[in-house]
Amino acid sequence: MTLYAENPGAVPLAGGTDFMVAWNAGLFYVKTVLDLSRLESWKRIAETKTGARIGALVTHGEIQRHPRIRKRLPLLVEACATIGGQQIQVRGTLGGNIANASPAGDTFPPLAVYEARVRLRSAAGSRTLALRDVFTGVKKTALHDGELIEFIEIDFPRAPSRQIFRKVGTRAASAISKTVAAGLLWLSSDGRIREMRFALGSMAPTVRRLLAVEAFLAGKKPGPRVADEAADFLERDVSPIDDLRSTRAYRLAVSKNLLRDFLRT
């Protein structure tokens, strides 16, 4: 932390999977690089009283192999398995993924529905932000100068009645998402929705929880009619754009279908 404070213009290097793309494009040639690879304590997954604490330098591959994470946070495991190929997964880190702040980050919808918290650390001290408060725009975060992501903390949710992770891309592997979705749903004993959390990535400058949809569904019984009505609310939460990867119309249609399928199951 002291070294970073003394070099505020330095570029932190975690797994380097996105960094090297920028480096090869010539963006960082005149930058000082702060190598984080010797921070061994940031490479660990530890259980807490309520869940897990995942060090910022834990890789996507390590998350996939961790038995407790596989059992209690399966949506995050599924997301990590979609990031690039195996070479990327054994290098890329969860903290680096968050700091990169891509709108298409595959881990962000699962982290959003798990209501993850991000611990930030600097020479001045530490603070914690909810994941939704970390991102301020495309490739932009709320991190202050001299701050690094130390770990991500997630409470293990009670067993959901239903859950979903879906990534839609041009192909099944090594593709950037056109849209990516994660959802958790809990039903009451009478079959009504007690709680639902649903999040979408690649649909806005930052990951979005579908708060209007979630509020509409509270207390309703899932089924085809309710699913169609909920899909109509989706545009209140997200407003995608046309870009090189996809069109607004396609993203909306696919995301509505994912939501409908989840509620009709």
Please tell me whether residue 230 adopts helix, strand or coil conformation: helix
Question: In angstroms, how far is CA 178 from the centroid of its own chain?
Answer: 15
Q: How far is CA 33 from CA 41, 120, 223, in A?
A: 20, 19, 53
Each residue's pLDDT expressed in tens, for the chain with a length of 265 residues: 778 888 878 889 899 888 888 888 887 776 888 999 899 999 999 999 999 999 999 999 999 999 999 999 999 999 999 998 889 999 999 999 999 999 889 999 999 999 999 999 999 999 999 999 999 999 999 999 899 999 999 999 999 999 999 999 876 666 788 999 999 999 999 999 999 999 999 998 999 999 999 999 999 999 999 999 999 999 899 988 787 778 999 999 999 999 999 998 7
Across the strands, what pairs with 137?
A: 140
**Considering only the top CATH level, what class is 2-155?**
alpha beta
Domain parsing of the chain, residue ranges: 2-155, 162-264
Same fold, 2-155 and 162-264: no
pTM over 0.85: yes
Three-point CA angle 55, 103, 32, nearest 5°: 60
Contact 53, 155 (CB under 8 A): no
Q: At what angle do helices 248-264 and 224-237 cross, to 10 degrees?
A: 140
Please tell me whether residue 254 adopts helix, strand or coil conformation: helix
Q: What is the pLDDT of residue 158?
A: 96
| CA end-to-end distance (rounded Å), the chain | 49
Taking the C-alpha atoms of residue 263 and residue 224, their distance in angstroms, rounded to an integer, is 7
Is the sign of the CA dihedral 18, 23, 24, 25 positive or negative? positive
Closest CA to 120 of 138, 92, 145: 145
Instruction: Tell me which long-range contacts 226-230 makes (C-beta under 8 A, separation of at least 24).
Output: 226/263, 227/259, 227/260, 227/261, 227/262, 227/263, 227/264, 228/260, 230/259, 230/260, 230/263
Taking the C-alpha atoms of residue 176 and residue 105, their distance in angstroms, rounded to an integer, is 9
Q: What are 50's two structure tokens?
A: 């309520």
- What's the CATH number of domain 162-264, 3.30.1240.10, 3.40.1360.10, 1.20.1630.10, 3.30.390.50? 3.30.390.50
